[in-house]
Amino acid sequence: MRYMNDYIEAKYHLAVAERMLAGYDEYPEKRFLVGVINEGAKAVAKLIRAFLIYSEMKRGNLDKFLLTIAPKYLDDVTAGNLVKILKIERAQKTSPIEFAKGDKIILLICGKYRILTVSRIREFIKSVRVAVSRFPTSIKR
């Protein structure tokens, strides 16, 4: 039952990300979108750890998760979106320039401007919700 703590924390961070996304609908500010990215990435990290512990992997990382565990429980699109939100969160933290224009966040990553839309962020959060719902446990509170 060591995995249960990580699973519950993943659900908590997902709920925070969903509330922040709802807050963005009322007050469209960049800080809400940045918060959604950060909380979504925390949820993904905790969920991957819970999957690894549940599958009794002594040592695991993202590659092991994608090769052995994700195909059992998740479809390719969901697993890909989980990885993308982790990459976006890392890139957002290292980006020297970040600003919002309308419903977009513009990041400077490795000398190129990357645009992230709110609809894409919603898709990522939806994928996290799907992954949480497919976690193999009888406790789904």
The domain that holds 33 is classified in CATH as 1.20.120
Query: Do the domain assignments include residue 60?
Result: yes
Whole-number Å distance between alpha carbons of 15 and 12: 5
Given this model, what pLDDT does residue 28 score? 77
Nearest to 43 by CA among 85, 75, 94: 85
Given this model, what pLDDT does residue 140 score? 53
Domain range for 19 is 3-133
Whole-number Å distance between alpha carbons of 66 and 75: 11
| Predicted model pTM | 0.87
pLDDT per residue of the chain (141 residues) written in tens, 0 to 9: 678 889 999 999 999 999 999 888 888 777 888 889 999 999 999 999 998 888 877 667 888 888 888 989 999 999 999 999 999 888 888 877 777 777 888 888 878 888 888 899 999 999 999 999 998 876 555
How many domains does the chain divide into?
1
pLDDT tens-digit series, residues 30-65: 788 888 999 999 999 999 999 888 887 766 788 888
Which tokens is 106 given? 């513009």
Q: What is the DSSP letter of 65?
A: I
Task: Judge whether 117 and 33 are in contact, CB under 8 Å.
Answer: no
Query: Do the domain assignments include residue 141?
Result: no
Query: Do the domain assignments include residue 8?
Result: yes
Given this model, what pLDDT does residue 139 score? 57
